[in-house]
Chain A
Amino acid sequence: MCDKLEALQREHKPDKKKNCNHCVFLYKKSQSITNVFLGNLADYYQGIEMSPFANLYLLEKDIENDTEDSGLQITFKHSLTRNGYAAGSKKSTLLHFDLFTMTRDLGFFRDNMVVHCTEAGVTNVDKNTSFQNPEDDHVVFSKFQPIVKVRKDFGTYLDDNFWSYFLSLEERFHTKDPMGYNQNSPDKNFNRVFKRDSAGRSGKDALFRDKAEEDSPIYALFLRKKNKRKTLLKYLELDGHRKRFRNFMALWIKEIHLDFVELATFHALVSVSNRNL
């Protein structure tokens, strides 16, 4: 096994990474790739009907059928019995994402995961499903905003191209530049080869910070890299790429905004001891 891996390493072609068996085996070849989309992906993926995800809408009469109610919505409903509230009144805390996706890539040497989401807020909350009492209509969770924007057509990178997409996100992590401001990254040459989309665009311009799409941005919220079979990885290691074999997790959040009408509300949420005992 080790001999075969070393042979692969010797055959590494630095300038032809897409045709290099060493690079394909190390970075691209996936044993299992799993995508979970919570929300209407069609809203955020122009041309989805021509994509590998089109089959997900195969039995739908209308792809945009569930647009208004789509997304991930978590509602916490609490009884309030403290001073200032009528006994039995309710307070609701809402968290709503228009789109929340999880992608896991399992390879011979990796177990990687990326979570994408939109900003969370109180927009598009379906109030009919939540409350019967007008007093219930108190929302305290008003904003949740991650920091790392990705292109709105990020969906095109979640299938066969996910491995290269992950490498570009990983580079952001290593360069301590999650916003993608630093254009002089140390791995510029590596990225030039790997980060190229179907239109031939490459580098950060192809993946991130597309200003035309800033009105409803998609964010990379969570990134996890886990290396497998580390003892064998050393036989495939290239000079200067040792850092790529580090495990890490990154959670990028810019803002969590909670609105409390009054301090008693906050108390009611966190002080539950001795209530209803």
Chain B
Amino acid sequence: MQKPTETDLPLPEEVKRLQSCYKATLFRVDSIEAYEFHGQRSSFRHIPILNTKITVFIYDCVYKNHMYYDDKKTHVLIPYFKIHIDDDMVLFCEIIKSFAKSAPSDTAGMHHWHFPEHNIFAEISDNDSNFVCFEIIHRLIRDNFV
């Protein structure tokens, strides 16, 4: 299926109305990739973290507060979004840890918690940080189901 062009496609009424009543802004990022590299410069081992691309269309209604038209529309297309969570990822886990440290916590002497009253990230110790996701699952099962 080829992309629509102005020459070979008659615009439907819906699109005509959309174009006449809204001003549109397009953002497009063709490739977003994130990797984490381990090892020395001569023998880097890379771990993919994220691979995606994104197209965003923002429509602002020309006639603000129009009775029938939506004031603002945002359409986001992410054709693929691949996230890779590896327990070898030091950097990724450090980011999660930094969130945990910046969040308020009340963990002193607390061994039992029940989602979602407490900040679960704040309870992950430094040594467990590489396994943060699985620690959460583990704790959920232990505290709520066992």
Contact = CB atoms under 8 A, between A and B. Distances in A.
B48 A129 contact: yes
B138 A31 contact: no
A64 interface: yes
A74 B77 CA distance: 18
Contacts of A32: 70-74
Contacts of B74: 32-35
Interface stretch (A22-30, A178-186, A203-211): A22-30
A11 interface: no
A29 B48 contact: no
B86 A49 contact: no
Contacts of B76: 34-37
Contact of B55 (A24, A56, A74): A56
A227 interface: no
Interface string A262-273: 000000011111
A269 B83 contact: no
Interface of A is mostly: mixed
B1 A62 contact: yes
Interface residues of B, number: 47
Given A77-B87, A129-B48, A272-B128, A54 B4 contact: yes
Count chain A CB atoms within 10 A of each CB in B26, B55, B78 and give the residue with the most.
Answer: B78
B32 interface: no
A75 B83 contact: yes
Interface in B117-137: 127-128, 130-131, 133-135, 137
A63 B1 CA distance: 6
A276 B3 contact: no
A4 to B, nearest CB: 13
Interface string A70-100: 1111111111000000000000000000000
A35 B76 CA distance: 6
Interface stretch (A39-47, A189-197, A216-224, A249-257): A39-47
B114 interface: no
B131 A24 contact: no
A54 B57 CA distance: 10
Contacts of A66: 79-80
A24 B73 CA distance: 17
Contacts of A34: 73-76
A14 interface: no
Contacts of B78: 36-39
A31 B75 contact: no
A58 to B, nearest CB: 7
Contact of B26 (A58, A64, A130, A272): A58
Interface string A95-137: 0000000000000000000000000000000100110000000
B80 A56 contact: no
Contacts of B68: 24, 28-29
Contact of A77 (B1, B71, B85, B135): B85
B77 A37 contact: yes
B86 A63 contact: no
Contact of B15 (A21, A29, A52, A75): A52
3 smallest CB-CB distances across A and B, nearest first, come from A56-B77, A49-B4, A30-B70
Given A73-B81, A77-B86, 12 more contacts: A21-B67, A29-B68, A29-B70, A37-B75, A39-B80, A42-B1, A50-B9, A51-B14, A56-B57, A270-B137, A272-B131, A272-B134
